[in-house]
Amino acid sequence: MNTCLSIILAVSTHLGLDGKYNGAHPHAKCTIDNWITGAYYNSERNASYYIGKKILNFEIGLVTGYSSYDVLPMIRYINNGWFVAPAFEKSGNLGLAIGYEFKLR
């Protein structure tokens, strides 16, 4: 059976931030013609839902589930399972989320 669904477990660390963040992210993702949508357990321990586009090694879109705003822009560089994304805290701290995705399906 063909399906767009990927089941992923991502692990991450957060650099330059003060908070204590979740580092394990179960993730379900669907990719069709470089369009992406999915859901994951985020660093703030909430469910996040996103939609976007994969352009070269970048994923760009919109995401929900964070305490700062109802909807946020999303950008992430991903290569061979490794990823890096900008991160920020309400206090004004800027940092990075860096991690690896294990594709389970």
Residue whose entry in the numeric block shows the structure tokens 């805290």 = 89
Residue whose entry in the numeric block shows the structure tokens 């767009």 = 4
Whether 2 and 99 have beta carbons less than 8 Å apart is answered as no
Q: Which residues pair with 73 in a beta bridge?
A: 62
CA 66/CA 105 separation, integer angstroms: 26
Domain enclosing residue 13, as ranges? 5-103
pTM to 2 decimals?
0.91
In tens, the pLDDT along 29-84 reads 999 999 999 999 999 999 999 999 999 999 999 999 999 999 999 999 999 999 99
Going by their DSSP bridges, the two strands 24-32 and 94-103 should be labelled as unpaired
- How many domains, the chain? 1
Whether 86 and 94 have beta carbons less than 8 Å apart is answered as yes
